[in-house]
């Protein structure tokens, strides 16, 4: 089973489950969050589907600062601190309260994105990012899906979007290759938590595989 899943029960209803989706740009995370939330609700679960950066009013205000504008808008350290400030607000105001009432929480990006984007690819250092995360967030997902796709194909999916939130999409090809490698490295290091899913396939096929995994791992 999921590491620690059996010891995190609180109250009469028991603690909810926390599932995150990770991956590079255009991997299909938001689509799979929606599809899994729909299935869980149909199975009778109370579900909070959310995203990072964002998910709470304070965090959504910070989101605009980090996902819009030029690639050089922020140096790696202040960028990381902004992401962590958003996450701390999100966890305290939305995620923890939902889990404590027994709801399932599904989040589009979480701690792994900060390790990969800022720690590895923007070269702040994994150890520094992990230390900063320990100071701000005490929660670890029960299950993480790493949606894996060739970066060229993922970026091609994003080109049709009419959105100002394209700061990270504008980084060079090497940046996106290192993102993919970083997420796969985390999945190899934490196989008890992370499942790699080939997201180059149709969304329905991907969603079916994710659903089977959730049933097998979390019941």
Tens of pLDDT, residues 89-126? 999 999 999 999 999 999 999 999 999 999 999 999 99
Give the pLDDT of residue 60: 97
Give the pLDDT of residue 161: 67
How many angstroms separate the most distant Cα atoms in the chain? Answer: 50
Give the pLDDT of residue 154: 87
Give the pLDDT of residue 173: 84
The model's pTM: 0.90
Give mean pLDDT, residues 130-148.
96
Q: By C-alpha distance, which of 174, 188, 75 is closest to 124? A: 75
Tokens of 187: 């999945």
Query: Is residue 71 over pLDDT 70?
Result: yes
Give mean pLDDT, residues 179-204.
97
Dist CA 2 CA 202 (whole Å):
27
3-state secondary structure of 108: strand
């Amino acid at each position: 089973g999921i590491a620690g899943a059996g010891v995190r029960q609180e109250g009469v209803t028991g603690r909810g489950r926390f599932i995150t989706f990770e991956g590079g740009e255009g991997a299909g995370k938001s689509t799979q969050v929606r599809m899994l939330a729909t299935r869980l609700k149909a199975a009778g679960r109370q579900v909070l589907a959310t995203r990072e950066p964002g998910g709470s009013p304070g965090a959504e205000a910070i989101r605009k600062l980090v996902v819009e504008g030029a690639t050089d808008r922020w140096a790696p350290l202040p960028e990381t601190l902004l992401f962590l400030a958003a996450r701390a607000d999100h966890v305290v105001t939305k995620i923890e309260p939902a889990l404590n009432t027994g709801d399932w929480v599904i989040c589009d990006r979480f701690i792994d994105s900060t390790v990969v984007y800022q720690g590895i690819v923007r070269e702040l250092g994994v150890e520094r990012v992990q230390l900063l995360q320990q100071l701000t967030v005490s929660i670890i997902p029960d299950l993480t899906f790493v949606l894996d796709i060739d970066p060229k194909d993922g970026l091609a999916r994003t080109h049709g979007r009419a959105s100002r939130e394209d700061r990270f999409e504008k980084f060079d090809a090497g940046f996106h290759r290192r993102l993919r490698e970083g997420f796969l490295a985390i999945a190899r290091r934490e196989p008890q938590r992370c499942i790699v899913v080939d997201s180059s396939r149709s969304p329905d096929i991907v969603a079916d595989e994710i659903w089977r995994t959730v049933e097998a791992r979390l019941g």
